[in-house]
Chain A
Amino acid sequence: MNNERYWGWVPTSIALTGVILFIFATFGPPASSSGFVTTLKGVLQPLSPEYVAGKEHYAMMPGPGSWLMTFVLGMAIGGFIGGRTMKKKIHDVPEIWVKNFGGSRKKRYITTFIGGILILFGARLAGGCTLGLFISGSTQLALSGLYFGIVIFAVAMITARIVYKKYGKGVL
């Protein structure tokens, strides 16, 4: 029907561990915010090679012919396969958003666009994201990953309480 459940935390954590260790063994620390730099480098390079060559942030990352690029494309394919093989409705606008702000797609899309700017700006400043810094870093026992992880969870929890005021029974 329409309400197939997501995996529980135990099978998900075991499967995720398997994938993470496979990546460490065959490539190195997994990362996804770097894939944004790689994508952008691929877009900008043909337009203005001088700009890309003169910018340290592009110089430090490989271009689109790299593991980082195929990894993020693979994630989109994995998400596609996952979505198609699961009997669960996919929403363009989350239900909890509709409960709080109504069904306007425009409002939601503008918000996630701004959210996207913030997560990537923050990740590039810190040196990585949930995967590249928190998960990869903490797996390697890095202080950077642990510090980043604690702060992102704390700030996201406070932000969600401010933004999504209507929650609890009947909403979730």
Chain B
Amino acid sequence: MNIIRSTFGALLAGSLLASASVAAEGAQAGKKVIFLGADDICEYCAVYNDQIRKLAAEKGIDLEVVTNKFDPAQQATQVDQAIAKRPDAILLWTIDGTALFPAMRKVQRADIPLLLTDVQPDKAREDLWVQYTGGNYEEQGSKSAQLLINALEAKGKPLEGGVIMITGIVGQAQTISMTKGFTETLADLAPNLEILGAQPGNWDTGTSTQAAAGLFTKYGDEIVGVYAAEDIMMQGVLIAAERAGLDPTEMAMVGGGCEPVGIKNIKAGLQYGTVLQSPVDEATYAVQSIVDLFNGAEMSKSVYVPHPMVTAENVDEVCQPWPTN
């Protein structure tokens, strides 16, 4: 916790102060980049925002961070604003997968290079941006399915029975992609594992607890595995399992994100594994993307952060604790 900040000014315009004079090498130094990102209310986003401010300052990039309360309409107007400021580049975290194509077309027409981070929109439109760096949600869902199968094998169980899913907020692009990746891979690799039910956990522990509790009541012993799209939602599943008198170590419990609570549960043996998506990696890749852009490096359309599967064996190497301020 960070109760005391030096000045209210720092609070107001942390980005402007953070990018103060640091002598840095390269053509990116001094370039003005506007980052349209997400609100600190989501922990992942808060870590990302802190990291990208820090890393951009190290490279001498004049980065301005604009946050958004998960409102695509607001973000579309933020794009208009950003264009009005004529920056050297715009880095965009699209709050909602595809809502911003029209806005991206405006950026293109204004001749401002566009980089994307965290959410990858439909690749059919990739002529609109220079490069996407960040997570691959479909791959994450797919890896989670693989991990769930590994878990059953590790526990010496047959690849048959019921699986339940706790997803993110219905309608979000990430939720749609993760669900697609998970269900398709599971159907491919283990056709005898049946998805009995899916409920949204809204990226929230409490909602996930209730959703999982309902599914445990209905399906009980039929369930051999649970996929929760985020570790913080898996925490809710574990609470519900304990209340239902089910032993989580006997089931294939798979989360996502390598979040602090997930690390804790994996070490305690309650959760079998998770799939890494690190805000530190994503912010690092995004800053590298900016550096490459201004230094004329060759840039491919998509660069994905690594999504290794994580279990108790490699949790300490792979999952670095999230830095605090």
Interaction A to B: no
Which residues of B pack against A, CB within 8 Å? none
